[in-house]
């Protein structure tokens, strides 16, 4: 009888350990990211977006997720920040710190052709990270992963992301029409230079992961035909 009880106790103990192991593994694999826009493009998201990928190459893609291409892979020091901006529908530019005078680098997104000129006033360039939309609306993410939008009538909760406390996404910028926001998310225990780019509608009803592996420096630049680019000087 004692042997049988011992065997039963061992089996129950192993079962409990198995349940715990499964739970831990499931937690480790949990991904709070919105659905991939590359796998499931959303035609309601307008314009095109530029970002730096994990290999420090400049990429331009449709905001809908339908297509993307690597435009340029520059090399050289960047001085800690290379804020992207659209100069027009076919031209991106950013600052490059290669000497005593910052260089304004322009890139033709169709051909990849690059040109460099000294920037006369780099202090008036765009900010790589800002949660303020072109119309003045502000978005923030609290410690629990809740996204809040501040408008003239007060704060409004628009989305909740089930992330670890103090490890939620951050609002990087907005679309030029103030209808969409861009969030950067770094996975727990992930590479500190490997970020996801999420897109979220202003009312929180639509979200998607545009990029799974991007750099955090340099920000994200969005262009919508007939509206223009954001951020801008």
- pTM attached to this predicted model: 0.83
> 4-51, pLDDT tens digit by residue?
544 444 444 444 444 333 333 334 446 789 999 999 999 999 999 999
Q: Are residues 54 and 7 in the same domain?
A: no
> 136-159, pLDDT tens digit by residue?
999 999 999 999 999 888 899 999
Residue, of 127 and 159, whose pLDDT is higher: 159
In a domain, 38, yes or no: no
How many domains would you assign to the chain?
2
Q: Are residues 1 and 102 in the same domain?
A: no
In a domain, 145, yes or no: yes
Q: Are residues 78 and 182 in the same domain?
A: yes
* E-state strands within the chain: 48-52, 58-62, 68-72, 85-88, 91-96, 103-108, 114-118, 138-141, 146-151, 154-160, 170-174, 180-185, 195-201, 207-214, 221-224, 228-230
In a domain, 41, yes or no: no
> 105-126, pLDDT tens digit by residue?
999 999 999 998 888 787 777 7
Q: Are residues 21 and 117 in the same domain?
A: no
Domain that holds residue 20: 1-30
Q: Are residues 131 and 226 in the same domain?
A: yes
The 3-state DSSP class for residue 99 equals coil
């Amino acid at each position: 009888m004692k042997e049988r009880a011992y065997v039963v106790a061992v089996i129950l103990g192993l079962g409990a350990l198995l349940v715990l192991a499964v739970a831990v593994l499931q937690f480790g694999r949990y991904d709070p990211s919105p659905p991939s826009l590359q796998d499931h493009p959303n035609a309601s998201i307008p314009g095109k977006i530029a970002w730096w990928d994990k290999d420090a190459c400049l990429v331009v893609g449709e905001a809908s997720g339908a297509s993307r291409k690597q435009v340029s892979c520059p090399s050289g020091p960047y001085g800690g920040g290379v804020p992207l901006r659209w100069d027009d529908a076919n031209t991106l530019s950013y600052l490059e710190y290669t000497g005593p005078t910052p260089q304004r680098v322009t890139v033709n997104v169709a051909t990849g052709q690059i040109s460099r000129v000294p920037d006369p006033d780099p202090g008036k360039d765009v900010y790589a990270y800002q949660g303020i939309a072109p119309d003045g609306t502000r978005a923030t993410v609290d410690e629990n992963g809740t996204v809040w939008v501040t408008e003239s009538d007060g704060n409004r909760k628009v989305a909740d992301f089930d992330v670890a406390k103090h490890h939620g996404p951050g609002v990087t910028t907005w679309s030029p029409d103030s209808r969409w926001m861009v969030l950067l998310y770094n996975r727990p225990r992930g590479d500190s230079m490997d970020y996801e780019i999420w897109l979220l509608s202003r009312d929180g009803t639509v979200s998607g992961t545009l990029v799974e592996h991007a750099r955090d420096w340099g920000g994200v630049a969005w262009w919508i035909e007939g509206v223009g680019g954001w951020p801008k000087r």
